[in-house]
Chain A
């Protein structure tokens, strides 16, 4: 069976977000941030991850999105902010997110703000490709 196209993945991710967040389809655009534009709480992120696992038959560990070994590492974090080494390590690990805005104020409590709908779609697409 052929791998789903990015558009097909987007449609399913969009539906999962509509179901989990009680938002309208037209609010779920590629560039919408989950915690900002769509007002997702951290428990919603967990709910969404579980839904995606079920929909796409993949496993996603929380570590892939918010790696504790970086975010709780005293070599990388002080006063709850990432230092340049920490930020570099994070970018290396979490490939599909755009950290440009986050880099201006790398507060570890705001890490979830990085994730847009597009980031999630990229993430799922890479997972499905890797599974082949």
Chain B
């Protein structure tokens, strides 16, 4: 599968709050196993959507400095309902603290206005170059790919595209 759990960023208050969306489709092959005859978004992928939303906020705020933004700790992540194919999960992450090496968030996901998942996240921010100068090239590749993906996800981004592209003349 493509491990991109955010399809679109809809709001971004730099360093403070991000709102993004994950649309679920039967085209996602893992759904055949989760579960047979009852396809629903796995809870850990709801968590991954929350983590990725928070990570985008960190990257944007730190100008893509850290090449790796990883989940360090998830706490009290509760699941209240399921996301079925055809539905869109809206995720919101509010930053409680953000420093160069680490950030913490209160995050939640909702479906049609109903909260269905919430939790607390701690992310770690790393750069490979800290391990040795020969990693600098890998860092640069990681950053470039992330900037590119961010441009696709965030329509408000200066380098991003317009919201709707009409096919009519």
Contacts and interface: CB of A to CB of B under 8 A. Distances in A.
B114 to A, nearest CB: 13
Contact of A22 (B75, B79, B80): B75
A20 interface: yes
Interface in A48-73: none
A107 interface: no
Contacts of B106: 22
A131 interface: no
Chain A interface mostly helix, strand, loop or mixed?
A: helix
A44 interface: yes
| Size bracket, chain B contacts | under 10
Contacts of A129: none
A21 B118 CA distance: 11
A41 interface: yes
A41 B120 CA distance: 15
A130 interface: no
A43 interface: yes
Contacts of A44: 76, 78
B75 A41 contact: no
Interface in A3-60: 20-22, 41, 43-44
A43 B78 CA distance: 8
Nearest to B79: A43
Contacts of B120: 22
A65 B80 CA distance: 21
Most buried by A among B76, B80, B106, B120: B76
A131 B79 CA distance: 35
A112 B79 CA distance: 18
B21 to A, nearest CB: 23
A51 to B, nearest CB: 12
B8 to A, nearest CB: 28
7 contacts: A22-B75, A22-B76, A41-B78, A43-B78, A43-B79, A43-B80, A44-B78
Interface of A: 20-22, 41, 43-44
Given A20-B76, A22-B75, 11 more contacts: A21-B76, A22-B76, A22-B106, A22-B120, A41-B78, A41-B80, A43-B78, A43-B79, A43-B80, A44-B76, A44-B78
A-B pairs, top 9 by smallest CB distance, nearest first, are A22-B76, A22-B120, A41-B78, A43-B78, A22-B75, A41-B80, A44-B78, A21-B76, A20-B76
